[in-house]
Amino acid sequence: MRALIAGAAALAAAFPIVTAAEAAAPNAAVTVTIKAEGTDLSGTVSSAKPRRCAANRTVKLFKLINGEPHLWANDTTEKQGTRYVWSTGNTGTPGRYYAKVGAKPGCRGDVSPTIRVMPGS
């Protein structure tokens, strides 16, 4: 009996119950930006539902090497004034980079444009 209860608890944890309102609600659009000052990379995450879809979001920074994306760094957004910002600091490496934020319940994901990063630019 304990095994049956433990199995049911594990299933409930793996497949959380979603209410009808949550299932019917459309996912809010999310926008992630990227900019460079030299090899310092930063940007913002914005949404019409900022507390749910922009706050505390993990932003992954990818570097294109021979056309293939490689996870280079990541950061979590934090509120700065009215915006949610992220920053990896100085990567020290020129190249082509883009930022990505994944989808989460109620929020879409997004990928920034790819930018070319040059030292001192």
58-95 pLDDT, tens digit each: 999 999 999 999 999 999 999 999 999 999 988 889 99
pLDDT at 95: 96
Backbone angles phi, psi at 9, to 5 degrees: -65, -40
Q: List the single range of 9-18, 20-29, 103-112 with lowest mean pLDDT.
A: 9-18
Integer Cα distance of 121 and 113 in angstroms: 18
Characterize 72-105 residue by residue with b for buried, 16 or more Cβ atoms within 10 angstroms of its Cβ, and e for exposed.
bbebebeeeeeebbbbbeebeebeebbbbbeeee
- Is residue 97 a contact partner of residue 34, using CB atoms and an 8 Å limit? yes
Q: List the single range of 2-6, 22-26, 48-52 with lowest mean pLDDT.
A: 2-6
Tell me the C-alpha to C-alpha distance, in Å, between residue 87 and each of 13, 16, 92, 106: 33, 32, 14, 24
3-class SS at 74?
strand
pLDDT at 19: 53
29-66 pLDDT, tens digit each: 999 999 999 999 999 999 999 999 999 999 999 999 99
